Structure 1
């Protein structure tokens, strides 16, 4: 018996290409972008429509605004009132001392003259129309704490007197702290 074989079709030179799936993500992304864009435009249109008057007597049914002979009114924007720290406390200020002169006498200590350097760190600005009396202590003196007062006006103008103290030794470092704030008329 003789077997019949069917002829084998010739093989292509290149392997068959799988269908490209690159279009699907692109088309999906395009569709999502159009939907999101449409929603955004719809939201903006809704906001615009919400800002138009709801009163039927003043609402216009035509898409174009009616011509008027009146001059357009300027919109006056209300400027928000500036809020100030009406009751600043000692915790709102920091103070450092600047040495303006220092005269030491061997192991006997030093005479040191210092000036206050005040910084404000409150959350709200100080009222520029008010003057504040700021009491502070200079610490590290041979005779104990020295209490001084300075005045702050226009938020930046500081009036004070220099402080001269004697220290027990050359290595003493003077410090200061704010102890009280009073508002002046």
Structure 2
């Protein structure tokens, strides 16, 4: 069997006695105590706010750093207009390629050729003299011969018993001379020399 709930009878509030002045301190007033759970919830909210605030500041700093790095990278890779303008100006200022000037040649004279007689062999016959085999070596002292022209050079060999006159051809940087020539001298000690007497263009 369930027993009926027992509810205490409400106590009557004490009434002030007639003739007694109401000082206001005689009636006890119950103070309401704030529950502890309110403080706990408020503390947790404060802690969470502080944590989220710190994380937000950290993310903001990281994002700003990333943006600045991206900006630097973009600035370093992006071409600058002054460089392009400078390159264009340099290219425009470069002179156009021109053909090399055509070389000029002087007309050779007899003084531009130096000749030397090279003795190849000598055969002597006592008082009758000697026979000499020789070749002319040619040196050109001018600025250069025109390779498109050929010159005939006349020279004379001195020191032989009989005068010897011969020619060779010169063109560009070469001369066509005889490989061997013969001459007779009176004494074994005589020397042969050669000089150019004339230069004519073919």
Q: Unmatched 5+ residue regions in structure 2?
A: 1-81
Count of aligned pairs between the two proteins: 118
Q: Which residue of 1 aligns with 2:178?
A: 160
Q: Which residue of 2 aligns with 1:105?
A: 125
Query: Is the 2:144–2:172 Cα contact (8 Å) retained in structure 1?
Result: no
Shift of 1:110: 0.4
Root mean square deviation, CA, Å:
2.8
**In the aligned structure 2, how far is the partner of 1:76 from the partner of 1:66?**
21
Q: Which residue of 1 aligns with 2:155?
A: 136
Q: Deviations over 1:100-158 (max 9, x none)?
A: 12111122210011111000001x21101111111000001112x21001111332142
Q: Which has the higher contact order (CA 8 A, sep 6+)?
A: 1
Greater gyration radius:
2
Q: Trace 1:67-78 onto structure 2 (pairs within 5 A).
A: 75-78=96-99
Shift of 1:181: 0.6
**TM-score, normalized by length of structure 1?**
0.56
Question: Relative to structure 1, is the Cα distance of residues 107 and 67 closer, same or farther in structure 2, using a 3 angstrom cutoff?
Answer: closer
**In the aligned structure 2, how far is the partner of 1:116 from the partner of 1:162?**
8
Q: Trace 1:26-105 onto structure 2 (pairs within 5 A).
A: 65=85, 75-85=96-106, 87-105=107-125
Question: Relative to structure 1, is the Cα distance of residues 178 and 88 closer, same or farther in structure 2, using a 3 angstrom cutoff?
Answer: same
Residue 179 in structure 1 maps to residue 197 in structure 2 = yes
**TM-score, normalized by length of structure 2?**
0.52
**In the aligned structure 2, how far is the partner of 1:160 from the partner of 1:74?**
51
